[in-house]
């Protein structure tokens, strides 16, 4: 499953990778299409799908966990993990400051949002906040969500949210 910030890591040489992402889009297939590579399903290839998952917050790199969408390739090094995490974090920060997020926004691992965080005004796909237990003062939901809004762990909803969105409680 594509997470908050997805990318394709392409091996350049024995110690270097390049991370490819798309603004406000977490689809590995869209990224592959944009850079012109195919998913062969072979771990010996020189590319692999990677993810940055918001777990503890949204503001600092330590708030996120790095994962592989597939298995870790045999050629991957710990240095590559650091390169990938920093590149994905920079792309994630740019996405969070976008007013319109064209794809689905997956923040389903977050249990809380920092006070005053700004979510995009519009999310083209679904918005997944399923583990969020409360909305801090000053945090507003997008004005529009093209897909579903997942708020399954909230104990109360801000006024008007039930009428504005189709909310899934999972």
Helices (DSSP H) in the chain: which residue ranges? 28-35, 78-96, 161-164
Over residues 92-109, the pLDDT tens digits come to: 888 887 778 888 888 888
**Eight-class DSSP state of 70:** S
Size of the chain in residues: 170
Put simply, whether the predicted model's pTM sits higher than 0.75 gets the answer: yes
Decide if pLDDT at 70 tops 90. no
Q: In whole numbers, what is the pLDDT of the chain averaged over residues?
A: 83
Domain positions in the chain are 5-96, 100-170
């Amino acid at each position: 499953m594509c997470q908050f910030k997805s990318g394709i890591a392409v091996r350049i040489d024995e110690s270097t990778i390049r991370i490819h992402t798309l603004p406000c889009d977490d689809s590995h297939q869209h990224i592959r299409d944009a850079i012109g590579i195919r998913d062969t399903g072979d771990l010996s290839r020189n590319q692999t799908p990677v993810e940055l998952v918001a777990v503890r917050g949204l503001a600092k790199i330590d708030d996120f966990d790095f994962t592989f969408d597939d298995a870790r390739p045999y050629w991957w090094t710990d240095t590559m993990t650091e390169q990938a995490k920093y590149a994905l974090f920079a792309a994630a920060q740019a996405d969070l400051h976008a007013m319109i997020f064209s794809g689905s926004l997956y923040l389903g691992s977050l249990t809380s949002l920092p006070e005053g965080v700004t979510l995009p005004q519009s999310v083209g796909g679904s918005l997944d906040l399923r583990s969020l237990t409360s909305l801090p003062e000053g945090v507003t939901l997008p004005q529009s969500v093209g897909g579903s809004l997942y708020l399954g762990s909230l104990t109360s909803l801000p006024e008007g949210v039930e009428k504005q969105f189709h909310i899934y409680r999972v």
